[in-house]
Amino acid sequence: MNQKNRRLANRIYLILAALFIASLVTSNLIFQKFFYWYPLAIELFNVKLFEVSVGLLPYPITFLITDILSEIYGKRKANEVVIAGIFASFFSLLIIYISKEAPATSWSVVDDSTFVTVFGAAPLAVLASMLAYLFAQFIDIKVYHFWKNLTQGKHLWLRNNFSTFTSQFIDTLTVLLLLCSFNIIEWDKFWGLLLSGVLFKILIAALDTPLLYLAVYAFRKKFDLNINEELLD
């Protein structure tokens, strides 16, 4: 690879890493708002399908990005971004904690009670999300490369969906167990939110497969990569 393409590859890697970290941190900050989408009149354990947290909206982006990184840059580079995301999330946790303790002025648009209402559960949420995320992302990368090696770089849709389905289930299960244990979410909503969350994530994961194919095609064409070939440092 020539020097120009190497700089471009590094620049793209930094952009993907930035998008990954931004999506991850944002999902932790906005998780307390729940929205509904009712394509079917179905209830799962007294929770309508789909009633899910808005935190799920940016979170699948992180799995798409790690799949792109795994396919093009390799397992080590994908793991580096995951680790960077962990540090960024804990740093955001520290900022939230300090901000919550700082007293608001009398003219502040957001007073102390409003701030605590919106961000008060964020430290616990970030902790719960990080534990779930730590399991899910590393499993996603591991499963992705297992299928990539098994199929010798073929059947991109297989490793993309199998790795994401597995990791998203683990992520949803772990974070709900922790949030219910912290009394942030009531236990009677556990099974309904678990099934709704997993089904929603599977749907999003299936929809992002064409985006992965498009990204991989663009990378291979630009950097003249063969099937199962990765960009080297």
Question: Model pTM?
Answer: 0.81
Q: For residues 164 and 161, what is the distance between their CA atoms, to the nearest angstrom?
A: 5
Residue 187 has pLDDT above 90, yes or no: no
What SS3 class is residue 51?
strand
Q: What is the pLDDT of residue 126?
A: 66
Q: What is the pLDDT of residue 142?
A: 81
In 10 A of CB 58, how many CB atoms? Answer: 18
The least confident of 125-129, 174-178, 229-233 is 125-129
Q: How confident is the model at residue 193 (pLDDT cuts 50, 70, 90)?
A: confident
Q: How confident is the model at residue 69 (pLDDT cuts 50, 70, 90)?
A: very high
Mean pLDDT of 154-177: 79
- pLDDT tens-digit series, residues 17-63: 999 999 988 887 887 788 887 777 777 777 777 777 787 788 778 88
- pLDDT tens-digit series, residues 140-160: 778 877 877 887 777 777 777
Q: What is the pLDDT of residue 161?
A: 75
- pLDDT tens-digit series, residues 79-137: 899 889 888 988 888 888 888 889 999 999 989 988 888 877 666 666 766 777 777 77
Q: How confident is the model at residue 225 (pLDDT cuts 50, 70, 90)?
A: confident
Q: What is the pLDDT of residue 9?
A: 92
Mean pLDDT of 158-172: 78
Mean pLDDT of 57-79: 86
User: Of the spans 160-164, 198-202, 209-213, which averages the highest pLDDT?
Assistant: 209-213
Q: Between 205 and 190, name the one with better pLDDT.
A: 190
List Cβ<8 Å contacts ≥24 apart for 21-26: 21/81, 21/84, 21/85, 21/88, 22/58, 23/58, 23/59, 23/61, 23/62, 23/65, 24/58, 24/59, 24/62, 24/85, 24/88, 24/89, 24/133, 25/88, 25/89, 25/92, 26/58
